[in-house]
A = this chain, B = another copy of it.
Amino acid sequence: MTLNHTMSNPECRRHLLPIRDALDILSGKWKLQILVSLLLGNKRFREMQREVDGITARMLSKELKELEMNRLVKRTVHDTTPVTVEYSLTDYGRSLQPVLTALENWGLEHRRRILTEALPV
């Protein structure tokens, strides 16, 4: 009756792994907001903390470190008094934009569907 495609299929794995990689990088409650915030311009630590509503210093610090490790965000220390730290997107970080746009478009369509579906009882 049903065709028996095996998922343990390496073909399948080959597709899944990079998708997982991408999703892992965007996972968590805050990374996305941080990236979008940086897409709108470079930011300093406290500045981001004020902008990304509700995030604690601990989480912001943790997420920025992960993003930096993944080469999406650059951390620059300026030798001013007091020392200021500037966070910016790398070119690589900016390369996420098409992915974010694909997600955004799909998400918009989804919202539209869910809303119009909810109208007729």
Contacts and interface: CB of A to CB of B under 8 A. Distances in A.
Contact of A106 (B22, B40, B54): B22
B32 A12 contact: no
A1 to B, nearest CB: 9
A36 interface: yes
Interface of A: 2-9, 11-12, 15-23, 25-27, 32-33, 36-37, 40-44, 47, 50-54, 70-71, 86, 92, 95-96, 98-100, 102-111, 113-114, 117
19 contacts: A2-B41, A2-B47, A5-B41, A7-B33, A7-B52, A12-B40, A15-B100, A16-B32, A16-B33, A17-B111, A18-B105, A19-B32, A19-B103, A21-B111, A23-B27, A25-B110, A92-B113, A98-B102, A99-B106
